[in-house]
């Protein structure tokens, strides 16, 4: 029986439970949607409803699990089930562990959570086990007869063990998955899984001590087994942890666990049986694993960039090789990230001023000095200035592997650097006025998600480059394309061709004098019925227009330039023109226009040349103007952010 995750929009959630907080129980008994993606629930299963909460106090967006509907049934107005009985849980830390049935997980950037969950998604068994583990006793209390949350069946035990054994995500979620096993009754499979973790640990950093404490407590209490004694005594900590402080701590934990088990089972065997000893002896003569060099440790960090575990292992190794400053920076930045704080501390900045150039020495020859930014202890953003003769020296260096964002410069060719496989975590490229490196990107399958700051007039000067850009079929993971300087007559080439892809946002920032022409092109695009790419139209005077999936126009006004934004939209619609009969622009293709403005702006006075006394009067005039054109204008006041995502409206 497949279970699914579906999103509750911010507006709906706050309308129904504005004061709700983590720990509260919402007695929700339905989900008002008949979305076709929910059809797998007709076979049974549970619907896990989540919502994205906005940032507070400098932290990122949070993902809340707000209710669980057990075995919902489809009706004319949506899905219905027994009232939810589990409390709201913050599951943000699980986002790196969840993979869904499709294998595509949630984005690391929490601001994109709402967009990624707009379509309901089928959960894997491991995902369900993680969620039920977080819910704990609350889940079983509210499951009711026939629900799928009981933990005493073979399927449930197998799913929870799979969530540990196949865990691909960050160490924090791995800890939760191991701790969730505390709920299981005594089972030889669980004890075996726990012992395998001790014998071949996935994480060896000191930050994993909470997980180890839970594991040893389970081996001694809920999963006590006399056969565990010999297994624990035989653990080779020198092989798995090396000569580290963590190795000594683990020896103490194993010693205490063995003592507790022997007190409970005095006659428990202390030596492995002959067949097990023979297997270990055979393993001992095999070639030893390659030593964990700095490059190996860095590769582990890059492989699971969202996970703190490999970073803290790297910090331990750095401290042991005498680089205490690097270890301190990693710990400081990891702890700050966990607290959700954005601004670096004075201690971090002091360490970076003193040591960053030394840490980046192998690639520093192509970096703008002090352009680097470190996140959770590793370089995350740089500005590249590929000086003559230096590119070949730095291409493919392991230090590039943690870089997620680069800003290019006006000279040189950064293409070989930014398209090399070692930059597998590169997500954002900020172009320069001249499109250096663009040709290489267009001819690659780089894992880029955002291409920003592309100035189209410079691209159009090179006919071959412009043709390759308009018709690009590569960059398969691209989600956002930001273009400035484009002319209205180039719109149809941009809206079609290689960029007509589902899931792509095209953000256009044309010159102000072309605002009317671009509005006409947007109307033509809406009239065409095309839905890919998704078009977001911005202007430097503070307005933004986005076409929704039904061809409506969503207009957002920048809080810092609200007045100018309102007037640019009104001007484009012909509101200020004398006797606009017929209206200068055909708004009917939009059908619906939503204007989002900051609170308090309606009372402000417009520029002196405008005949209206207040911005509110301008908006009222714009409503009438849209109505005459057959388009409904809806005005919403609130603290909107540009490109906020579907869950915001």
pLDDT digits over 576-599, tens only? 665 444 444 555 666 667 777 777
The torsion angles phi and psi of 127, rounded to 5 degrees, stand at -60, -45
> Tokens for 250?
């683990």
User: Bridge partners of 69?
Assistant: 47
Question: How do beta strands 4-7 and 121-122 pair?
Answer: antiparallel
- Residue 68, pLDDT > 90, answer yes
Angle subtended by helix axes 515-528 and 562-572, to nearest 10? 70
How many residues comprise the chain?
649
CA end-to-end distance (rounded Å), the chain? 32
- Provide the edge-to-edge strand list for the sheet that holds 30-31: 30-31, 78-80, 73-75
CA distances from 328 to 12, 99, 355 (A): 44, 32, 12
pLDDT of residue 62: 87
Query: Is pLDDT above 90 for 5?
Result: yes
- Note the pTM of the prediction, 2 decimals: 0.59
**Count of helices and strands (H, E) across the chain:** 25, 20
Average pLDDT over residues 68-90: 90
Q: Which stretch of DSSP H or E encloses residue 392? A: helix 391-394
pLDDT in tens, 126-167: 888 888 888 874 544 444 333 333 344 566 678 788 878 776
Q: How sure is the predictor about 242, in pLDDT bands with cuts at 50, 70 and 90?
A: confident
| Residue 169 pLDDT level (bands cut at 50, 70, 90) | low
Which DSSP string corresponds to 584-611? SS--TTT-EEEEEE-TTGGGS---TTSS
- The residue that leads in pLDDT, 565 or 89, is 89
Q: Do strands 46-53 and 62-70 pair parallel, antiparallel, or not at all (unpaired)?
A: antiparallel
Confidence of residue 538 (pLDDT cuts 50, 70, 90): low
- pLDDT of 345 > 60? The answer is yes
Ramachandran category for residue 214: left, alpha or beta (phi over 0 → left; psi -120 to 50 → alpha): alpha
Evaluate if residue 112 carries a pLDDT over 60: yes
Please tell me which residue, 108 or 78, carries the higher pLDDT value.
78
According to the 3-state scheme, what is the secondary structure of 103-168?
Answer: CCCCCCCHHHHHHHCCCCEECCHHHHHHHHHHHCHHHHHCCCCCCCCCCCCHHHHHHHHHHHHCCC
CA distance 565 to 597: 9
Which is more confidently placed, 642 or 320? Answer: 320
What whole-number distance in Å separates Cα of residue 437 and Cα of residue 185? 58
Average pLDDT over residues 240-245: 78
Alpha-carbon span 123 to 100, nearest angstrom: 4
| Cα–Cα distance for residue pair 431/433, rounded to 1 Å | 7
Dist CA 330 CA 67 (whole Å): 36
Domain chopping of the chain, boundaries: 343-478, 479-649
List, for residues 16-58, the tens digit of each pLDDT value. Answer: 776 788 888 888 889 988 777 788 898 888 999 999 888 765 5
Mean pLDDT of 1-6: 88
Q: Residues 627, 628, 629, CA angle at the centre, nearest 5°?
A: 90
pLDDT averaged over every residue in the chain: 81
Contact 600, 573 (CB under 8 A): no
CA dist., res. 228 & res. 116, Å (int)? 44
Q: What are phi and psi of 90, to 5 degrees?
A: -85, 115
pLDDT at 80: 92
With cut-offs at 50, 70 and 90, classify the pLDDT of residue 275. Answer: low
pLDDT, one tens digit per residue, over 569-579 is 676 666 666 54
Tell me: pLDDT of 271 over 70. yes
């Amino acid at each position: 029986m497949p279970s699914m995750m579906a999103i509750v929009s911010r507006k709906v959630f706050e309308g129904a439970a504005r004061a709700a907080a983590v720990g509260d129980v919402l007695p929700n008994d339905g989900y008002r949607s008949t979305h076709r993606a929910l059809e797998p629930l007709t076979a049974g299963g549970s619907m896990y409803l989540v919502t994205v909460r906005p940032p507070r106090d400098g932290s990122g967006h949070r993902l809340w699990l707000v209710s669980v509907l057990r075995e919902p049934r489809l009706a004319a107005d949506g899905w219905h089930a027994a009232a939810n009985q589990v409390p709201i849980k913050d599951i943000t830390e699980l986002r790196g562990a969840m993979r869904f049935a499709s294998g595509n997980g949630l984005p690391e950037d929490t601001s994109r959570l709402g967009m990624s969950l707009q379509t309901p998604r089928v959960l894997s068994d491991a995902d369900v086990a993680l969620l039920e583990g977080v819910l704990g006793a609350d889940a079983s209390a509210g499951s009711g007869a026939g629900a799928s949350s009981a933990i005493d069946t073979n399927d449930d035990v197998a799913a929870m063990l799979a969530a540990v054994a196949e865990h691909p995500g960050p160490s924090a979620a791995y800890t939760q998955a191991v701790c969730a096993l505390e709920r299981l009754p005594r089972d030889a499979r669980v004890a075996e899984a726990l012992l395998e973790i001790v014998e071949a640990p996935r994480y060896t950093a000191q930050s994993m001590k909470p997980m180890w404490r839970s594991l040893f407590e389970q081996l001694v209490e809920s999963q006590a087994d006399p056969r565990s004694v010999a297994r624990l005594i035989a653990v080779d900590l020198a092989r798995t942890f090396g000569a580290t402080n963590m190795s000594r701590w683990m020896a103490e934990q194993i010693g205490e666990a063995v003592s507790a088990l022997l007190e409970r089972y005095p006659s428990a065997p202390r030596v492995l049986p002959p067949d097990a000893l023979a297997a270990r002896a055979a393993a001992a003569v095999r070639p030893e694993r390659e030593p964990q060099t700095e490059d190996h440790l860095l590769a582990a960090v890059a492989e699971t960039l969202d996970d703190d575990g490999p970073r803290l292992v790297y910090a331990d190794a750095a401290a042991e090789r005498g680089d205490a400053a690097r270890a301190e920076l990693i710990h400081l930045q990891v702890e700050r990230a966990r607290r959700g704080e954005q601004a670096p501390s004075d201690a971090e900045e002091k360490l970076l001023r003193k040591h960053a150039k030394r840490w980046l020495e192998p690639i520093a020859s192509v970096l703008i000095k002090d352009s680097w930014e470190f996140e959770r202890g590793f370089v995350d953003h740089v500005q590249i200035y590929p000086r003559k003769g230096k590119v070949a020296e730095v291409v493919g260096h392991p230090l590039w592997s943690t870089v997620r964002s680069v800003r290019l410069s006006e000279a040189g060719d950064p293409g070989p650097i930014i398209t090399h496989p070692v930059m597998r975590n590169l997500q954002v490229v900020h172009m320069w006025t001249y499109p250096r490196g663009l040709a290489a990107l267009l001819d690659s399958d780089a894992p880029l998600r955002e291409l920003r700051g592309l100035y189209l007039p410079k691209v159009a000067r090179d006919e071959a480059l412009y043709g390759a850009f308009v018709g690009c079929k590569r960059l398969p993971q691209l989600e956002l394309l930001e273009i400035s300087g484009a002319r209205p007559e180039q719109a149809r080439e941009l809206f079609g061709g290689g960029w007509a892809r589902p899931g792509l946002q095209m953000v256009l920032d044309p010159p102000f004098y072309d605002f009317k022409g671009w509005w006409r092109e947007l109307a033509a695009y809406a009239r065409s019925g095309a839905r890919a790419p998704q078009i977001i139209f911005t202007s430097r005077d503070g307005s933004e227009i986005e076409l929704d999936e039904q061809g409506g126009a969503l207009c957002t006004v920048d809080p810092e330039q609200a007045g100018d934004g309102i007037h640019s939209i009104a001007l484009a619609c012909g509101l200020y023109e004398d006797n606009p009969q017929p209206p200068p622009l055909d708004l009917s293709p939009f059908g619906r226009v939503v204007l989002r403005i900051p609170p308090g702006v309606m009372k402000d006075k417009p520029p002196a040349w405008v005949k209206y006394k207040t911005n509110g009067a301008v908006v009222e005039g714009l409503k009438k103007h849209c109505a005459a054109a057959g388009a409904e204008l809806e005005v919403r006041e609130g603290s909107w952010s540009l490109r906020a995502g579907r869950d915001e409206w």
